[in-house]
Amino acid sequence: MKIHEFQAKRIFRDNGVAVLENRVASTPQEAADAFHQLGGSFAVVKAQIHAGGRGKGTIVGNPAQRGVQLVRSADEAAAVAQALLGNKLVTIQTGPAGQTVNRVLVEAGCDIGRELYLGAVLDRAAAMPVLMVSSEGGVEIEKVAEESPEKIFKEHFHPQIGLHSFQVRKLCQKLGIKGDSVRSAERFMKTLCSVFTKYDASLVEINPLVVTKAGQLVALDAKMTFDDNALFRHKDVQEFRDLAEEEPAEVRASNAGLSYVKLEGNIGCLVNGAGLAMSTMDIIKLHGGQPANFLDVGGGANAQQVTEAFRILLSDANVKGVLVNIFGGIMRCTTIAQALLEAYRTVGFNVPLVVRLEGTEVEQGRKLLAESGVNIITAEGLTDAAKKVVAAVAAAG
Amino acid sequence: MSILVDKNTRVICQGITGKVGEFHTKGCKEYGTQMVGGVTPGKGGETVQGLPVFDTVIEAVERTGANATMIFVPPAFTADAILEALDAGIEVIIAITEGVPVLDMVHVYEKVRASKSVLVGPNCPGVITPGQCKIGIMPGYIHTPGSVGIMSRSGTLTYEAVWQTTNLGLGQSTCVGLGGDPIVGTSYIDLFRRYEADPQTESIMMIGEIGGSAEEEAAAFVKKHVTKPVAAFIAGRTAPPGKRMGHAGAIISGGKGTATEKVAALRDAGIEVADSPADMGQAMQRAIARKRS
């Protein structure tokens, strides 16, 4: 799960990770008030959307307006908020349609000495979380990793033990952090690692992390994502979920216990199992088609869930054909067949439907479909299924 | 021969009194697995599917001689269940449970690695040695005793590969579902070692997916240490970056973990890679034929 910058900063502040004074505003007036309250000679207005790259992102229909802007008066804060709020911001991560800005963060300015990068993630190969720092702050870290990996320094930390002091000293040496700043860095980095563990984060990223002219470390940006599997023990984090930032069909699917990801193509897929669902997308593409989605109904889905899955697929206007690919294990082919017929009765199929069934109760499942009289194209095996759905979509124009 | 489990394996189910635990205990028993008991704290003394239920794993081991466990407890308690099995000296621990918080697994993984036990999973379909022992949720009938060792991070895609090798008359020695989570107990490399040493296994199929670098590490190992024919498939060639494809582990992040990178590493190691999931069985045949020539 993703959260907004202002929410991540709230977590930071509550746990003692240094952030600047800030206010959240959802109207230009609130932005102006925030500027006054902060009381500085300048402030920064930042669009709050889940995607990264906001500083370089631009507003649809107003390419001069960036997602992050320095302001020097309350009037200017209000004007920038006006230009951002309710409009769509396009960044390298949003796709061309952009994401609507519903809030801005108005934040106090600071005297920047240096900009660094800091991130904590799980290192899968080491089966341990790792803290990564780089002297190349404020730029895309993927680019740094690609072009100059020697500028990224890493220290693993055990979730129950945390980061050791000597590890901070090693990192400070690499980053050229000296004197009193080392003490600030120790507090900052150790606390950040404990926040990672405490909230079951899958990513904590601060880019840039600033060393002020006074030598203090401050998180100028904040990004946190969380392990969905651990949300059950973090009610406070669950409340940060912003459904407006998520694809409506994906929200609907997750409410039904389905795993769904919307894609750009026109062939809807309904599959059991994540690996098989990915492979089904792959084989469609291999035969010249474009998958409209990833949809895993899971191992133990019941008829209602599968019916809901059909509804979600068919409500996507881009979908010109559907491929159902089931290898029944726990999932019985009869369950799928019944759900399919139920979906036909309740929503109707206005696009061609190709069904490939294999595994548990396959004969009964096929029989149910054959006897129903519903117009279904049946397929034997993966290749046959993919070819048939691609052909059917092409024929439908 | 086979790897990990065979007809002599004595299995308990942790979480046997739950609906899912009981259902699959029944399924395994019907397949012919030596199910010898179950564990649910607080339910000791009960009987499920004709099997005795114990309060603790250590008691179950002492009373039944169990040396393997199948774990179906809810995600919040899975780490504890694995540690309990480890503490009781269970040799093969198979965690089926999906949705375990990944940070719980950091400590568990360390403990498992420092022990003589093997952990498979979590979030996996289990392990099967066809005709001898099934521990997990896979449909038994698609398997047939044979010579291919199959390992995979995904459940139903494994069934697909199993079905193809069955239909081609190759059959399987032992099939292992590694699990779809970022941290799992057993890696491809662990199993390559076992398959390479197992006389029944004549060829090895590895089914991977996007995310992480486990496939690349395995490819490097194969290049150096594996003499048997190897075929592979990678799921997720068309998956967009930054989106989690069902499995917590199946995500391309920071441009790493793409199918293209993985396929290149596998081919470089001399592994026969199937371009299509429909071609996995035939890719295995090609790998075998190439090794013979």
A274, A286, A330 ranked by CB distance to B247: nearest? A274
A124 touches chain B (CB under 8 A): yes
A232, A282, A299 ranked by CB distance to B236: nearest? A282
A291 touches chain B (CB under 8 A): yes
A277, A328, A330 ranked by CB distance to B246: nearest? A277
Instruction: Give A300's contacts in chain B (Cβ within 8 Å).
Output: 20
pLDDT in tens, A139-166: 777 788 778 888 899 999 999 999 999 9
Residues 36-65 of B with CB under 8 A from A: none
A288 touches chain B (CB under 8 A): no
Helix, strand or coil for residue B110? helix
Q: What residues contact residue B57 under an 8 Å CB cut-off, 6+ apart?
A: B12, B14, B39, B69, B84, B85, B87, B88, B90
More confident residue, B175 or A251: B175
d(CA A370, CA A169): 70
Rounded mean pLDDT, A31-55: 94
**Band of residue B289 on the pLDDT scale cut at 50, 70, 90:** very high
Of A89, A13, A8, A107, which is closest to residue A49 (Cα–Cα)? A89
HSE, CB side, 13 Å, CA atoms: give it for residue A371.
9
- Residue B202 DSSP symbol: -
Residues 92-111 of A with CB under 8 A from B: 93
Instruction: Give B180's contacts in chain A (Cβ within 8 Å).
Output: 274-275
3-state secondary structure chain A: CECCHHHHHHHHHHHCCCECCEEEECCHHHHHHHHHHHCCCCEEEEECCCCCCCCCCEECCEEEEECEEEECCHHHHHHHHHHHCCCEEECCCCCCCCEECCCEEEEECCCEEEEEEEEEEEECCCCEEEEEEECCCCCCHHHHHHHCHHHEEEEECECCCECCHHHHHHHHHHHCCCCHHHHHHHHHHHHHHHHHHHCCEEEEEEEEEEEECCCCEEECCCEEEECHHHHHHCHHHHCCCCHHHCCHHHHHHHHCCCEEEECCCCEEEEECCHHHHHHHHHHHHHCCCCECEEEECCCCCCHHHHHHHHHHHHCCCCCCEEEEEEEECCCCHHHHHHHHHHHHHHCCCCCCEEEEEEECCHHHHHHHHHHHCCCCEECCHHHHHHHHHHHHHHHHC
Rounded mean pLDDT, A288-309: 88
B138, B156, B246 ranked by CB distance to A294: nearest? B246
For tokens 């991130």, name the residue.
A119
CB contact under 8 A, A285 and B244: no
Instruction: Find the residue in B nearest to A293 (Cα).
Output: B239
Of B130, B158, B122, B144, which is closest to residue B233 (Cα–Cα)? B158
Percent of chain A with pLDDT over 90: 74
* Per-residue pLDDT at B292: 82
Whether the pLDDT of residue B254 is over 70: the answer is no
CA distance A114 to chain B (A): 24
* Per-residue pLDDT at A344: 85
CB contact under 8 A, A273 and B155: yes
d(CA A53, CA A145): 17
Residues of A designated catalytic:
117, 205
Residues of B designated catalytic:
247
* Per-residue pLDDT at A346: 84
Residues 128-157 of A with CB under 8 A from B: 128-129, 141-142, 145-146
CB contact under 8 A, B103 and A272: no
Rounded mean pLDDT, B267-272: 96
Straight-line distance from the first to the last Cα atom of chain A, in angstroms, rounded to the nearest whole number: 38
User: What rounded mean pLDDT belongs to chain B?
Assistant: 95
**Band of residue B143 on the pLDDT scale cut at 50, 70, 90:** very high
CA distance B108 to chain A (A): 10
* Per-residue pLDDT at A325: 94
Rounded mean pLDDT, B266-277: 96
B184 touches chain A (CB under 8 A): no
pLDDT in tens, A215-262: 999 999 999 999 999 999 999 999 999 999 988 888 999 889 899 999
A158, A229, A261 ranked by CB distance to B75: nearest? A229
- Mutation for testing the A interface, residue in B96, B103, B154 having most A CBs under 10 Å: B103
Q: What is the ipTM of this complex?
A: 0.90
B218 touches chain A (CB under 8 A): no
Bond preceding residue A248 cis, omega within 30 of 0: no
* Per-residue pLDDT at A149: 84
**Band of residue A101 on the pLDDT scale cut at 50, 70, 90:** very high
CA distance B209 to chain A (A): 7
B153 touches chain A (CB under 8 A): yes
pLDDT in tens, A315-354: 889 999 999 999 887 778 898 898 888 888 887 888 999 9
* Per-residue pLDDT at A354: 95
CB contact under 8 A, B238 and A281: yes
**Band of residue B184 on the pLDDT scale cut at 50, 70, 90:** very high
B103, B107, B275 ranked by CB distance to A230: nearest? B103
CB contact under 8 A, B214 and A124: yes
Token pair of B165 as six digits: 């090798």
Rounded mean pLDDT, B212-222: 94
* Per-residue pLDDT at B269: 96
B255 touches chain A (CB under 8 A): yes
Instruction: Give A324's contacts in chain B (Cβ within 8 Å).
Output: none
Instruction: Give A329's contacts in chain B (Cβ within 8 Å).
Output: 125, 137-139, 155-156, 159
CB contact under 8 A, B154 and A330: no
Give the range among A14-28, A51-65, B251-265, B276-290 with minimum mean pLDDT: B251-265
Instruction: Find the residue in B nearest to A140 (Cα).
Output: B254
Instruction: Find the residue in A nearest to B105 (Cα).
Output: A127
d(CA B209, CA B236): 6
Whether the pLDDT of residue B126 is over 90: the answer is yes
d(CA A275, CA A325): 12
d(CA B69, CA B90): 7
For tokens 């599959």, name the residue.
A271
Give the range among A11-20, A304-313, B42-51, B64-73 with minimum mean pLDDT: A304-313
CB atoms within 10 A of CB B99: 18
Rounded mean pLDDT, B146-153: 96
CB contact under 8 A, A278 and B239: yes
